């Protein structure tokens, strides 16, 4: 019974220590930039230096890494939506081709040998297959374009983040920190 009573206490203790570890993360560490104080600067001094360098880097690069992260997530969602739309564009693609093929087959059958039903069936099948192939090819191309565009946007965003990290690191190094990212 005593063990069961201790479980909620241990859960609360674990959550509290995990929260404390998360809050101990510095501004630089949240961006995967690690700064070690060469001159033994206190944590509050390091925090102020990081904030000053953050502002300096943001103004000099014109980029805010947290905004860029949000932008990157939006770009990723947009790419996924475009790919899904391209995949959905093939639905019903064969029906139009089947109708056109049946009409063409019936016309050719009437002209050539007077039997429209068999020629219409063959024309419908051929039109269905051809139309689906065109739709799938177009869908695949649209998906590739969406993925390519998304990848280039993500790359451009990552380059902006990297430039910010370079500027941020240069500022911290000028303030006597050993910086790695």
Angstrom distance (rounded) from CA 92 to CA 163: 47
DSSP per-residue codes, 35-87: EEETT---HHHHHHHHHHHHHHHHHHHS--HHHHHHHHHHHHHHHHHHHHHHH
Q: How far is CA 38 from the centre of its chain?
A: 38
d(CA 68, CA 163): 12
Confidence of residue 85 (pLDDT cuts 50, 70, 90): confident
Model confidence pLDDT, tens digit, residues 97-151: 555 655 565 555 555 555 666 666 666 666 666 777 777 788 888 888 888 888 8
pLDDT bracket for residue 66 (50, 70, 90): very high
């Amino acid at each position: 019974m005593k063990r069961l009573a201790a479980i909620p206490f241990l859960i609360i203790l674990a959550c509290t220590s995990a929260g404390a570890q998360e809050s101990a993360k510095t501004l630089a560490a949240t961006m995967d930039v690690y700064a070690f104080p060469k001159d033994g600067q206190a944590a509050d001094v390091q925090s102020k230096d990081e904030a000053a360098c953050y502002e300096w880097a943001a103004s000099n690069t014109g980029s805010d890494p947290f905004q860029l992260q949000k932008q990157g997530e939006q770009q990723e969602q947009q790419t996924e939506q475009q790919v899904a739309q391209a995949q959905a564009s093939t639905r019903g693609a064969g029906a139009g081709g089947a109708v056109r093929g049946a009409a063409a087959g019936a016309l050719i059958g009437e002209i050539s040998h007077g039997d429209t039903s068999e020629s219409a069936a063959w024309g419908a099948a051929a039109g269905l297959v051809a139309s689906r192939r065109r739709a799938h090819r177009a869908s695949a191309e649209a998906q590739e374009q969406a993925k390519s565009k998304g990848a280039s946007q993500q790359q451009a965003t990552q380059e902006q983040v990297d430039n910010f990290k370079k500027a941020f690191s240069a500022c911290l190094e000028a303030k006597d920190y050993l910086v790695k990212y």
